[in-house]
Amino acid sequence: MSDITQLENELLAAIASAKDEAGLEAVRVAALGKSGSVSALLKTLGAMTPDERKVQGPAINGLKERVGAAIATAKDALGSSALDARLNSETVDVTLPVREAPTETGRVHPISQVTDELTAIFADMGFAVAEGPDIETDDYNFTKLNFPEGHPAREMHDTFYFPQKPDGSRLLLRTHTSPVQVRTMLTQTPPIRVIIPGRTYRSDSDQTHTPMFHQVEGLVIDKGSHLGHLKWILEEFCKAFFEVDQVKMRFRPSFFPFTEPSLEVDIQCRRDKGEIRFGEGEDWLEILGCGMVHPNVLKNCGLDPAEYRGFAWGMGIDRIAMLKYGMNDLRAFFEADVRWLAHYGFRPLDFPTLAGGLSS
């Protein structure tokens, strides 16, 4: 057997036994690559006599072509069997249910939803949002709001205090959002129109109280502000928030150190088998406290009571959320139970707007 025939047999056997495309490529390089065996044979042609070349030339070139063709055929075969193998292993079960995207399965907590809803309503009336820290000074939480030292109203707040500092002062977890009224008046010049949603803290826990809860405060300071403005704002807010055409409200005299006069507001409702309907019925439900900002508070915040007047209100966000969406245990709000959130939560892409609907 000639060398050429023997080499051809060896190469064809190697091609036939290549298991995958990488193995076949190795055979191709070993035969037809720059220093491959067939290329080496081709290089010998240059040193041959013309007569030898006439015989060997077609023989070696024939070998090169046949090996090349065999590699091409094997490559095709390996390629399609690799595809077959992939198709066999990568099955798609078209009967499986479609999995929802995270934007579909995630839920917005009712507190965040209600905060967004009331922000949308007050923004439409020209209110900006103001914020303050959860950890407050006694001065901002009480003293500047006209709670004198030792005044019994301080005791009503069940305050969480931090340890006393060497100078005798102590920080606290704010018991209401009202200290942000002080912060706003100290840093902004009237006219002021802000709402202040945020977390508040009191040492209290039962079905309708949790140690951490949420309030939204409102504050308006201007030259001619009066109770009529306050009543209109609160009425418009309640209609928009509870999504009803009519609300009947009742203003009762009350007491807060930082307002004079002070009022508590009830809205008319009907209780129907555990459900509450607004805009009808004979029952009354308290929803907020409000009043004209006390002249002492204006003075404490650097404003002249002879020039400016203001009104303010404070409302429990958790409470109005429970009323609007029929949730009866406040503690569940903060238990982080995904089943509760899946039931009471809101779809993340349905952002509340007055135009597009608040809670649809």
Q: Which residue is nearest to ligand DAH (CB)?
A: 314
Select from 176, 214, 294, 309 the one that contacts ligand DAH (CB under 6 A): 176
Total residues at the site for ligand DAH (CB under 6 A)?
Answer: 11
Tokens representing residue 276 in the block: 């509450």
Q: Find the part of the chain contacting ligand DAH (CB under 6 A) among 66-74, 182-190, 285-293, 345-353.
A: 285-293
- Tokens standing for residue 343: 């039931």
Of residues 33-52, which lie at the interface with ligand DAH (CB under 6 A)?
Answer: none
Q: What is the identity of the amino acid at 302?
A: G
Q: Which is nearer to ligand DAH, 107 or 202 (CB)?
A: 202
Task: Tell me which of 217, 278, 298, 324 binds ligand DAH, using CB under 6 A.
Answer: 217
Type and span of the H or E element at 51: helix 50-89
Residue 1 DSSP class:
-
Question: Closest Cα to residue 268, out of 247, 287, 296, 288?
Answer: 247
Task: For residues 262 and 293, give the distance between their C-alpha atoms in angstroms, rounded to a whole number.
Answer: 9
Based on CB atoms, which residue is closest to ligand DAH, 42 or 249?
249
- In whole angstroms, the minimum distance from the beta carbon of 334 to ligand DAH comes to 19
- CB-CB contact of 114 with 317 (8 Å): yes
Binding ligand DAH by CB under 6 A: which of 140, 142, 213, 256? 256
Restricting to residues 289-318, name those near ligand DAH by CB under 6 A.
Answer: 289-291, 312-314
- Nearest distance from residue 195's CB to ligand DAH, in Å? 11
Which of residues 115, 146, 178, 210 is near ligand DAH by CB under 6 A?
Answer: 178
CB of 235 to ligand DAH, least distance (A): 16
Using alpha carbons, list the distances in angstroms from residue 325 to 113, 123, 242, 249, 275. Answer: 11, 22, 10, 20, 10
349 contacts: CB under 8 Å, gap ≥ 6: 103
Q: How far is the CB of 192 from ligand DAH (least distance, A)?
A: 13
Q: Which is nearer to ligand DAH, 314 or 352 (CB)?
A: 314
259 binds ligand DAH, rule: CB under 6 A: yes
Q: Which of 188, 198, 241 is nearest to 218 (CA)?
A: 198
Q: CA dihedral defined by 120, 126, 129, 130, rounded to 10 degrees? A: -160
DSSP secondary-structure letter at 161?
Answer: B
Instruction: Output the smallest distance, CB 262 to ligand DAH, in A.
Output: 6
Please choose, from the candidates 300, 301, 296, 268, the residue with its C-alpha nearest in 3D space to the C-alpha of residue 282.
268
CA distance 202 to 158: 5
Task: Considering the complex, state which of residue 41 and residue 263 has its C-beta at the smaller distance from ligand DAH.
Answer: 263
**Phi and psi (nearest 5°) for 89?**
-85, -35
How far apart are the C-alpha atoms of 312 and 296, rounded to whole Å?
A: 14
* Peptide bond preceding 261 in cis form (omega within 30 of 0): yes
CA distance 150 to 283: 37
Q: Does 144 bind ligand DAH (CB under 6 A)?
A: no
Confirm or reject binding of residue 122 to ligand DAH (CB under 6 A).
Answer: no
Minimum distance, C-beta of residue 224 to ligand DAH, in the bound complex (Å) = 19
Query: Is the CB of 217 or the CB of 318 nearer to ligand DAH?
Result: 217
Provide the minimum distance between the beta carbon of 170 and ligand DAH in the complex, in angstroms, as a whole number.
20
Smallest gap from Cβ 288 to ligand DAH, in A, equals 7
3-state secondary structure at position 195: strand
Of residues 313 and 333, the one with the C-beta less far from ligand DAH: 313
Q: How far is the CB of 136 from ligand DAH (least distance, A)?
A: 12
Q: Which residues make up the interface to ligand DAH (CB under 6 A)?
A: 176, 178, 217, 256, 259, 289-291, 312-314
